[in-house]
Amino acid sequence: MGMTMTQKILAHGAGLEKVEAGQLIMCDLDLVLGNDITSPVAIKEMAKFNKEGVFDKDKIALVPDHFVPNKDIKSAEHCKCVREFARKNDITNYFEVGEMGIEHALLPEKGLTVPGDVIIGADSHTCTYGALGAFSTGVGSTDMAAGMATGKAWFKVPSAIKFVLEGKPAPYITGKDVILHIIGMIGVDGALYRSMEFTGEGVSYLSMDDRFTISNMAIEAGGKNGIFPVDEKTVEYLKEHTKREWTAFEADEDAVYDEEYVIELDKLKPTVSFPHLPENTHTPDDWGDVKIDQVVIGSCTNGRISDMREAAELLKGRHIAKGIRCIIIPATQSVYMQAMEEGLLKTFIEAGAVVSTPTCGPCLGGYMGILAEGERCVSTTNRNFVGRMGHINSEIYLASPYVAAASAVLGKIASPDEL
């Protein structure tokens, strides 16, 4: 009985020849990640371990991004805690304002995540790095603390679901539509503590940014991780972003999967998750006339340069509807700079949008776009739970940058084809 891609990476990280689903193992960690919300808790836990220092100052990444630039005194104190810890332990990969970005966009961009890595992060969307053929998963702050102190973590080896991607997506269909379609199909607990492994010839039509988006939202189906095979596009991305050595793992031909789904990419339509769960998906056939108040384009899910280009493609020469607030947040300083050099920021501002420095901001109801009672927002973020972006009686509709931009122009949930 063979192993899945994820199981092979975990076996390697544990120094074992073979692992099986359900087995408890301890793995060496290649990277431990924390942000300004989760790191202070981990730092306080570390103080209880009676251990000086961290296991490896080069294998810890601290990225203040949720309430940064600081929105209030409490968030400033959190960031101060992280900053002082980073200085005390000489953390190599600490990113201050001016260098920081949204963590899950920043780390691959900086070349800190590569195929074959075992990565934990005290943030649920750490599963993003599976796009590069790594095993990455979110953990609690206590596990982060243990990881920073020892360089190891316990895992229960997950079983897996195989998603075979076939066909070529139509124009305006992105990785966001793919993953929303899948979550709508299997539900928010459809992959509970299982690896979501993507394969098939359709993968070749997905950009790296598409793959980051899909892996990022594996957690929204309950997945332990999402992971893609290493192909030519992956290798080109790695050549551009890192000098680290890496190892690509492939699933065995006789690997065992709990379930297998075929996703016909050429048949997908623009997909939106209506309130209040990502699984509540709809296509233009049944959107109806949903008036909106705000649009957010950004986040660790859709704040990369391709997302900026997609939004600009539809906003160029058009103007956001009267009374609609449109907030655009490039995910990193590099994305911001590239968008500026390409004239995308000019397009956004001329269309009536505002452009923010990199931050998670509105995604978690932090700041930079909080919703009032009864307001509706189309957002390229990853969660639309009750109260996620503000008032408990507000509503969030998850969508791709194309749909978000079209909606901003028309003042209602809209397909790009309507422009």
Distances (CA, A) of 8 to 20, 116, 135, 383: 10, 9, 10, 30
Q: What is the pLDDT of residue 290?
A: 96
pLDDT for residue 329: 97
At 215, the pLDDT band (50, 70, 90 cuts) reads: very high
pLDDT tens digits for range 143-197: 999 999 999 999 999 999 999 999 999 999 999 999 999 999 999 999 999 999 9
Confidence tier at 51 by pLDDT (50, 70, 90): confident
Q: Which residue has the tokens 């931050």?
A: 359
Q: 287 φ, ψ to 5°? A: -70, -40
- Average pLDDT rounded to a whole number, residues 28-40: 96
Q: Band the pLDDT of 101: cuts 50, 70, 90.
A: very high
5-244+253-263: CATH topology is Aconitase; domain 3 (3.30.499)
Q: State the pLDDT at residue 1.
A: 81
Distance CA 200, CA 229 (A): 9
Mean predicted lDDT score pLDDT of the chain: 96
List, edge to edge, every strand of the sheet that includes 60-63: 93-94, 60-63, 31-35, 118-121, 135-138
Q: How confident is the model at residue 241 (pLDDT cuts 50, 70, 90)?
A: very high
Q: Do the two domains 5-244+253-263 and 272-418 of this chain adopt the same fold? A: yes
5-20 pLDDT per residue, tens: 999 999 999 999 999 9
CA-closest candidate to residue 353, choices 400, 296, 411, 305 = 296
Mean pLDDT of 356-381: 94
Q: What digits encode the pLDDT tens for the residues 379-413? A: 999 999 999 999 999 999 999 999 999 999 999 99
Residue 107 · residue 61 · CB < 8 Å: yes
Q: What is the pLDDT of residue 52?
A: 82
Q: Stretch 27-49: mean pLDDT, rounded?
A: 94
- Given a contact cutoff of 8 angstroms between Cβ atoms, the answer to whether 184 and 272 are in contact is no
Residue 47 has pLDDT above 90, yes or no: no
Percent of the chain with pLDDT over 90: 97
For residue 44, the model assigns a pLDDT of 92
% of the chain beyond a pLDDT of 70: 100
Q: What is the pLDDT of residue 56?
A: 96
> Which pLDDT belongs to residue 49?
87
> Can you identify the CATH homologous superfamily of domain 272-418?
Aconitase, domain 3 (3.30.499.10)
φ, ψ for residue 165, nearest 5 deg: -95, 125
What pLDDT, on the 0 to 100 scale, is given for residue 50? 80
Map out the domains of the chain as residue ranges.
5-244+253-263, 272-418
Task: pLDDT band for 89, please (50, 70, 90 cuts).
Answer: very high
* Closest listed residue to residue 344, CA positions, set 310, 303, 296, 386: 310
Q: How confident is the model at residue 268 (pLDDT cuts 50, 70, 90)?
A: very high
Q: What is the pLDDT of residue 2?
A: 92
Find, among 252, 233, 266, 263, the residue nearest to 164 by Cα.
263
pTM of the model: 0.95
Contact 134, 9 (CB under 8 A): yes
